[in-house]
Amino acid sequence: MVAIATLSRSPYCQTVHSYNAIKLTNLTYAELKEIIEGTSQALLPDAYYAAVQAAKDFCQSDCLHNEEVVARLQESGFEESDIAHLIHLVTVSVFVSNFTRIMNLPIEEGIEAHVDKSEQKFFCF
């Protein structure tokens, strides 16, 4: 969700999802960003990296059923139903992220905004 929010440039969704991911996993912001960018050295299952990359690919694609992306997911152990579920999640998430960006939803008080301090902006790829 953080990758999709980042790609759709939704500050609200990016902040909420990164805040929750950091809180739930004990990752740092930098570690989360590395996972999304594909530069992480963390020992995560291949399926995690494949899912994040697929979500990014689907988010940036004109056609959600990209055979190359589907093949990578299958190689990582995803079943057809898992792939269909991921495509569904990406579709809904892109819609909601775009909606929150267009509506310029304010970030709730108490939720820390995760900003790339070197550029003073939300990170995007």
Q: What is the pLDDT along the chain (125 residues), one digit of tens a residue?
A: 888 888 888 888 888 888 888 888 888 888 888 888 888 877 778 888 888 888 888 877 776 667 888 898 999 999 999 999 988 888 898 889 889 988 988 887 777 655 444 433 444 33
- Which pair of tokens denotes residue 100? 């929150």
Going from N- to C-terminal start, the domains of the chain cover 2-103
CB-CB contact of 105 with 96 (8 Å): no
**Torsion angle of alpha carbons 109, 110, 111, 115, nearest 10°?**
90
Tell me the whole-structure pTM to 2 decimals. 0.72
Beta pairing partners, 105: none
